Structure 1
Amino acid sequence: MPCISFFIRSVYDLLPSNTNRIRWGKKEDLTCPLCQGRQTTEHVLSSCKIALSLRRYTWRQELAAIISTAKGGSSLPETNALIFTTEGGAKS
């Protein structure tokens, strides 16, 4: 059940991002160690440009297939190309 806990904590912004750790009194620096931007839950999970360039988000494809299968659909086809959408909707 660790995946369910992770999903719930990410939806409610309860993961230990630097922003949350500051709010909880556990840390003093909110910068991302990769890009020096503000490290929020959203930033960690999908917005860090350095993590994207290092292909650290490849697990998303597997996650999408698991969710699709759980909803009763077929799993997503295997592909080497990853398509990301920015907050405004433009593909990158």
Structure 2
Amino acid sequence: MAKYRNKPVFIDAVRYQRGMEDGFDCYSISGMFIGTFGKDGPLPRVQQLPFINTPQGKLYLSEGCYIITEANGKRSTMPASIFELLYEKVDE
């Protein structure tokens, strides 16, 4: 049986910090959806779920996750625990 390995795939990635999101979906304490707000405007003092926009829709961000940008410009997110198992930083 032949053995194979994945070809190297290079991506751009950055660990999420507040300010990198495209906006927030906001919910009241009871869980009722209040609305979607841009990151630069005032936000209500309720539960705020940060997200990035992708062609497939919103992807929600959590503290410490990575925002990945592939060579074709497609963005996605990945939890840090998985990202750090799959990728290692390379020098340019």
- TM-score of the alignment, normalized to the shorter chain, above 0.5: no
User: Comparing both structures, which one devotes a greater share of its residues to strand?
Assistant: 2
Larger CA Rg, structure 1 vs 2? 2
Of Structure 1 and Structure 2, the greater helix share is in 1
Q: Normalising by structure 1, what TM-score? A: 0.24
Question: TM-score normalized by structure 2?
Answer: 0.24
Higher relative contact order (CA 8 A, sep 6+): 2
